[in-house]
Amino acid sequence: MKSEVFTQKIRLSGEEKIIVKIKEHEDEVSDALKDVRHFALAEIYGVERRDGKTFVEEEFVYGISLDGVLRGKGLPIGWSEEFSVEEIAGIGVQLCKGVRVLHGLKQPILHGDIKPENVILQKRNPISVKLIDCDDGFFWRPNTCYPTMKGTPGFCAPEQTTAGVCDYTVDVYGVGRTLDFLLLGSPTTMGRKRKMLSSIIKKATNESPKERYITIRELEDELKTVL
């Protein structure tokens, strides 16, 4: 997460809730995301600069965060507090598809803070998730260090905490750590597919970027083998 100061509020537009972030700086990342539409990414509706501040309007995503599900927080009737291996892999595939859009923009964007709290589960059957806070990401530039790209301890790649050179694999790591969180929180999920998923997660979360999946598409393809 960037070391920035912003406030957040919710306003109504008709019957729809909209999140409004008020940032103390210009926000080129949000500008770049205004026209991006993907089922696994929270939408940015508009960006306005006035009075020395940037106002970012984005989608209010209805659902429960992944960490909230494992805590049993406000679960609908019939929802389990654990995930099956297939559900975890399916969540991973959807996250990869969304992140692949960010990485594939003309000016690629690194999310940099993928974690259970930033993934909203909207439906359980079939699984449907959305990644939020994409506007807090960074433009990727080759061989660049990001001293303020700290991320969240326990979920961000090691190079983020040391102001090292960051690339697409920081988001590979973030997806992997998020899936690992879900797998560890679902101890009754057993069998051959659990071992397959554990192996994929281990590679995605290697401390060395060179030993991870090089692209988010590679991780996506591996996760599909578990479905």
Distance of CA 165 to the CA centre of its chain: 20
The identity of residue 60, as a single letter, is: F
Number of residues that make up the chain: 227
Tell me the pLDDT tens digit for each residue of 56-98: 999 999 999 999 999 997 888 889 999 999 999 999 999 999 9
Longest dimension (CA), the chain: 58
Q: What is the mean pLDDT of residues 8-23?
A: 83
CATH H-level, domain 64-224: superfamily: Transferase(Phosphotransferase) domain 1 (1.10.510.10)
Average pLDDT over residues 28-34: 95
Token pair 């995930």: residue: 83
Q: Which DSSP category does 224 fall into?
A: H
Counting beta carbons within 10 angstroms of the beta carbon of residue 198, is it exposed (0 to 12), middle (13 to 18) or buried (19 or more)?
A: middle
Phi–psi pair at 64, nearest 5 degrees? -130, 135
| 85-143 pLDDT tens trace | 999 999 999 999 999 999 999 999 999 999 999 999 999 999 999 999 999 899 998 88
Superfamily grouping for domain 6-59: Phosphorylase Kinase; domain 1 (3.30.200.20)
Q: What is the mean pLDDT of residues 192-218?
A: 97
Query: pLDDT at residue 2 above 50?
Result: no
Coarse DSSP helix, strand, coil percentages of the chain, rounded to the nearest 5 percent? 35, 20, 40
Q: What is the pLDDT of residues 150-178, one digit of tens each?
A: 689 999 999 988 877 899 999 999 999 99
List the end-to-end C-alpha distance of the chain, in Å, as a whole number: 31
pLDDT at 3 over 60: no
Q: Give the integer Cα–Cα distance in Å for 141 and 143.
A: 7
pLDDT recorded at residue 144 = 78
**Structural domain boundaries in the chain:** 6-59, 64-224
Nearest to 183 by CA among 168, 159, 200, 166: 200
Residue of 44, 169, 62, 35 lying closest to 114 (CA atoms): 169
DSSP 79-117: --SS--HHHHHHHHHHHHHHHHHHHTSSS-EE-----GG
